Amino acid sequence: MPDDVPLAQQPGRLTGPLGLAASNPWQIGMARWDTFYAVVFGGVVLVSVVIVAGQARAVALAALSAMLLWYLLLGRPYIARAECESSRRGVIFLAGLLALFALADWENPYCWFLAFALCPMSFHVLRARLAVWPAIGFNLLGGVMVALREPTSIGYAQAIALVAFGVVFTQVYSGYVLGVVEQSLEQADLITQLEQTRAELAMVSRDAGVLAERQRLAGEIHDTLAQGFSSILMLIQAAEAQLEESPATARRQLDLAAQTARENLAEARTLVVGLAPAQLQPGTLEQALRRVTERLGSELGVSASFETSGTGRELPAATEVVLLRTGQEALANVRKHAAAGHVAVRLCYAGTHVRLEVTDDGGGFDPAAVNGGYGLRGMRGRVDEAGGTIAVRSAPDRGTSVTVEVPT
């Protein structure tokens, strides 16, 4: 929250940093009020010089000069700092101003026009509900001075009219001030609620980002490290079975296990630094798919082929990752479940889409009877995120075909 918003908890002044006002608007407002005071004060001084003469003029000008110094030395610094909680200093300032105003008004009746500046100033010094009383006091003082100077029915009528006008003006002005303060408080409260909402949304967004990153890492680990470890374990078990009967075959299988372990290590380092898949770094998507296809054939000792069709082109990195990972997962399922004799992987460039097909002649399964493990869900999630489609076609004893189509 900005530092100026907490003023909403202790309201009251007409001007000041009420939560929505920045330093520049506040300074501009002070400059405008200074100009207003200067115009009113200058007009009264001019009238005192031109119309009033003799000792009365000297006393009135002295009182006006003292009012100016009183405002510059005590009043304006207090208003500029917006110390609304320090009401004692405000009362002292207004009391001195009232005394000097009484002296000037007694010597020069035209000094009453200063009330048009002093009444609004009261609302700058005290909270709105308290400022009403000194504002009324300035008007009552003007009426009393009129009645004392001219103790006749006409003078009394003028005094009553003067006081009535001043009181009405003060009430209207105070109503305006209270409305401004109330509106400012509502806006400050709204800012507080918006800040709280923004903080809550930021927390929700952060949690969503953490969850998305966890899901991404889970998919990456499943599609790379978990599959690699499964392949290594299978190769080691096969090598153990061939150690006595066929050492050469066992050695070849151990070499494949070592190669898979090195690739897994590269994938682990890639996940740590957040780079593209390790298989994609040495070359193109076609080369990466060809390597994982040929490695599957070597591990299982089956026929495994890879081919492309269409005009090859550079794909976005995210699209390549989706195609490579789904291809790896489809081949992993072949390794674990299919018992196939032949596996075919085909990458097809077609118009605005690219299609990957992984087909095997293994035992197959009934898609309707399979709930789908993490691998299938992970494939669908990746493809959906890329705006593509995935289709799994299979039947018992008729092999399996996985087709992924992603826009480019």
| Average pLDDT score over residue span 386-406 | 90
Residue carrying structure tokens 């320090």: 86
pTM of the model: 0.43
Could you tell me if residue 278 is inside a domain? no
Q: Which 3 state secondary structure label does DSSP give 401?
A: strand
Give the confidence band of 10 by pLDDT, cuts at 50, 70, 90: very low
Could you tell me if residue 283 is inside a domain? no
| Average pLDDT score over residue span 241-261 | 80
11 & 153 share domain: yes
Q: What's the alpha-carbon Rg for the chain, to the nearest Å? A: 44
Q: Using the predicted structure, report yes or no on whether residue 159 has a pLDDT greater than 70.
A: no
Domain extent, residue 36, equals 5-200
- Note the pLDDT of residue 307: 93
Tens-digit pLDDT profile for residues 77-102: 777 665 444 577 778 888 888 888 88
| Side chain identity at residue 254, one-letter code | L
Which of 113-127, 163-177, 370-384 has the least mean pLDDT? 163-177
14 & 163 share domain: yes
Could you tell me if residue 167 is inside a domain? yes
Q: What is the CB neighbour count within 10 angstroms for residue 342?
A: 14
Give the confidence band of 371 by pLDDT, cuts at 50, 70, 90: low
Could you tell me if residue 231 is inside a domain? no
Domain limit, last residue, from 165, 200, 235: 200
Q: Using the predicted structure, report yes or no on whether residue 191 has a pLDDT greater than 70.
A: yes
13 & 161 share domain: yes
Domain limit, last residue, from 138, 169, 200: 200
Q: Average per-residue pLDDT in the chain?
A: 76
| pLDDT: which is higher, 3 or 402 | 402
Q: Using the predicted structure, report yes or no on whether residue 318 has a pLDDT greater than 80.
A: yes
Question: What is the number of domains present in the chain?
Answer: 2
Could you tell me if residue 31 is inside a domain? yes
Phi, psi (5° rounding) for residue 207? -65, -40
DSSP H or E run through 258: helix 247-273
Q: Using the predicted structure, report yes or no on whether residue 256 has a pLDDT greater than 90.
A: no
Residue 79 region, left (φ>0) first, then alpha (ψ -120 to 50), else beta?
alpha
Give the confidence band of 344 by pLDDT, cuts at 50, 70, 90: very high
Buried b (16+ CB within 10 A) or exposed e, 69-107: ebbeebbbebbeebebeeeeebeebbebbeebbbbbbbb
Domain limit, last residue, from 200, 232, 262: 200
181 & 307 share domain: no
- Note the pLDDT of residue 12: 44
Nearest partner of 280 among 329, 228, 330, 316, judged by Cα: 316
